[in-house]
Structure 1
Amino acid sequence: MLSRIAESLFWIGRYVERADGTARILDVHLERLNQMPRPVQRDVSRQLLGVMGSRPESEDFGLPELLEALAFDRSSATSIAGALGAARENARRARETVSGSVWEGLNTTWYGLTQHRKDVVGTYRFCHWVIERTAMVRGLSDTTMSHDESWQFLVLGRSLERADMTARMLSTRDVHASGLSWVNMLRCAGAYESFLRTRRASFGEQHAAKFLLLDRLFPRSIVYALSDAEKCLTNLNPAYQRVGFINDASRIVGQARTFLEFHQTDDLMLELPEHMERVQKACARASDAVSRTYFSQEAELSWVGEVS
């Protein structure tokens, strides 16, 4: 496979998942933000933007500016619209590899971005629309593309971004002064019903955080996403070594997953910010390692004449 095609597929997976994760995070915070006094609203908006990896461009940054930055700004890949636009552009570059259904799904989504109001109510509906559209694109990619190398790169990007976005979502629980309730935290990840069926009678923020962090069967947990990324890396480079790992990305992802799974703590909530920062750094490092291994263009070779 050409490296440019592999890179486009990897970033399609990442950008679609980023749009979905940002929509979920923004959706769960919108109502509470709208009910806050203006000064508090500004402080919380700036903090929430910081959790998402961006900085406000001006001091006068409030809820309207947050909605523009995270939902509608097409010039930034941090926003929902920007991420979906970048996913569509990468799909256009890899048009011969992605299925027609995936391309049509992304293209139709792109043209539907302008049909939404940019106030709080409109953004709330926009987030739900994005969650539905990204779920459709993921389903189409899983059911209309051969599960070969091209699909592995797409799922690899999706898995790394999902681990990163779940970590960011968990990091937003302390943004509000009163804290994000564990119910909203689970609903943000679409995990509420699955959590109830798993825990039955045990409730609380520590149980909810542990579920989203460590559950091996829930697709949006960090451990599940990292395990998926490991499987993709193994399938892409199945070379067997008796000692160590030949792939830097496999080593980084594996270390992050095993640390979470085997780390014992008496107070998970106290250590949660440290864990989330570690996961985000691991995802960034793994993405860089994948780029170096599969996407970086080799130095141009120059012909050298025979030495007599």
Structure 2
Amino acid sequence: MLSRVAESLFWMSRYFERAENTARFLDVNFNLLLDLDSITPVDHPNYWKPLIMVMSDPEHFNSLYQEYDAHSVTDYLVFNRKNSNSILSSISMARENARSIIESISSEMWEQLNNLYHFLQSVSPQQVHSDPYSFYKEIKNASHLFQGITDNTFSHNEGWAFVQIGKYLERADNAARLIDVKYHMLTTSPARHSDLVSGSVDIIQWMAVLKSCSALEAFRKVYLSKIDPENILSFLILDRSFPRSIAFSICAAQEALWRISGSSPHRYANNVDRLIGKMEAEMSYATVEEILQQGVRPFLEEIEQGLARIGEQLHLLYFAYHTPKIEPADISEALPFTGLDGRRANWSQSQQQQ
């Protein structure tokens, strides 16, 4: 497989997953405010700022908008092309990657991705504000349909493995960021009760954290008692059967990498497999007590940094353009292949935000 095809498959999948996660977080936040509206004021910026902290850069947001509210945050995370993490930007870049390898993917995959792109072009901010539920449901359903089409119409070869790697690395990163921000805000807010989650506001907010990962129903089936922060951490970080937990995502990404390299549990073939194998082993033997003792934020920051290192090594190993190290005496003979029109092939997306 050509490295440019593998890279485009990886980023196509990763950007689609990013768009779905953004839509999921915004949808849950709107529903959270509806639930809280009858018992507490919901016009405080703290109900919107965490979304920017999870999905993008607060400094960049502050340079474009005056305050954190429903209109500004929605515009920034949905429509703003200056924000590389907005839904419109993510789907646009996923489409560009798919278009560059249209001969390598199924026609159904391209049709689904192209339909979603044109749907976003036709939607106005006023429509989203008037009916956010329908809009975000459309994005989430489109992502689920795309993943189902990919699994059923795309050969499960090396290309499919790169699609899985992109999806699960992005999912693990988003989950870590969400838990980091939300857990820190909820546990450091002024306590009005002796128990952190005894108040109705706290319970609703912890439920929103689970809903952001589509985990509320699955969590209830495992933990029948009241919602507890330690149980939520255990489920969203360490549970190996829930497909949106961090541990499950890392394990799935590792299996996809093994399909490509041929590594095994006791033998790694390259540095990418070593890094993700080390992270998977640490997650396998971690406990909630150890996470709390170390500190939730430091633990999740290590995961985020580890995922970034895996992404960097993945790029260097499979996607990067490698020039010859030894040049012959005749410099003209040492020039590498430069692609069409004598220009160097622009295959790398390393400058894009991972």
Q: With structure 1 as the length reference, what TM-score do the two structures score? A: 0.88
Determine which of 284, 297, 302 is the counterpart of 2:321: 297
Q: 1:53 pairs with 49, 52, 56, which one?
A: 56
- Please give the alpha-carbon distance, in whole angstroms, between the structure 2 residues aligned to 1:272 and 1:288: 25
Contact 2:233/2:288 (<8 A) preserved = no
User: Structure 2 vs 1, CA of residues 70 and 175 (structure 1 numbering), >3 Å: closer, same or farther?
Assistant: farther
C-alpha distance in 2 between matches for 1:22 and 1:118:
16
**In the alignment, what sits opposite 1:254?**
277
**Which of 146, 167, 170 is the equivalent residue of 2:176?**
167
Further displaced range: 254-263 or 183-192: 254-263
Q: Over aligned residues, Cα RMSD in angstroms?
A: 2.5
Q: Could you tell me which residue of structure 2 aligns to residue 211 of structure 1?
A: 235
SS of 1:181's equivalent in the other structure is helix
Unpaired stretches in structure 2, ≥5 consecutive residues: 190-200, 331-354
What residue in structure 2 maps to residue 80 of structure 1? 87
Match for 1:48: what amino acid? L
Shift of 1:257: 2.5
Question: Percent of counterpart pairs with the same letter?
Answer: 28
Aligned residue for 2:158? 149
Give the TM-score, by structure 2 length: 0.77
Q: Is the 8 A contact 1:67 1:123 kept in 2?
A: no
1:299 alignment partner AA: T
Q: Is the 8 A contact 1:117 1:123 kept in 2?
A: no
Q: Aligned equivalents of 1:267 and 1:232: distance in 2?
A: 29
1:75, 1:89 → 2: CA distance?
17
Which 10-residue stretch deviates more, 204-213 or 260-269?
260-269
| Separation of aligned partners in 1, 2:185 and 2:265 | 45
Residue 65 of structure 1, CA deviation = 1.9
1:12 and 1:88 in contact (8 A); partners too: yes
CA 1:281–1:241: 2 relative to 1, 3 Å: closer
Equivalent position of 1:13 in the other structure:
13
| Structure 1 pair 44–267 and aligned structure 2 pair: CA distance change class (3 A) | farther
Whole-angstrom CA distance in 2 between matches of 1:28 and 1:61: 20
Which residue of structure 2 aligns with residue 220 of structure 1? Answer: 244
Q: CA offsets, 1:127-146, max 9 Å, x none?
A: 22111101111111111000
Does residue 96 of the first structure (1) align with residue 96 of the second (2)?
no
Aligned partner of residue 214 in structure 2, secondary structure: coil
Separation of aligned partners in 2, 1:121 and 1:73: 18
* Residue 112 to residue 201, structure 1, CA distance change in 2 (3 Å): same
Q: Is the 8 A contact 2:230 2:288 kept in 1?
A: no
Contact 2:12 2:94 in 1 (8 A): yes
Matches within 5 A, 1:62-77: 62-63=68-69, 64-77=71-84
- What stretches of structure 1 of length at least 5 have no aligned partner? none
**CA distance 1:268–1:181, change in 2 (3 Å):** farther
Confirm or deny: 8 A CA contact 1:155 1:232 kept in the other structure: yes
User: 1:29 corresponds to which residue?
Assistant: 29
Question: Does residue 255 of structure 2 align to residue 231 of structure 1?
Answer: yes
Aligned length: 302
Letter in 2 for 1:190: S
Quote the residue 1:114 is aligned against.
Answer: 121
Per the TM alignment, residue 164 of structure 1 is displaced from its structure 2 partner at its CA by: 0.6
Aligned letter for 2:170? Answer: E
Whole-angstrom CA distance in 1 between matches of 2:130 and 2:272: 41
Q: Assess, with a 3 A threshold, how the Cα gap between structure 1 residues 269 and 131 changes in structure 2: closer, same or farther.
A: farther
User: Partner residue of 1:189?
Assistant: 213
Q: 1:259 to 1:112 in 2, by over 3 A?
A: same
Q: Which amino acid in the other structure matches residue 112 of structure 1?
A: F
Contact 1:18 1:83 survives alignment (8 Å): yes
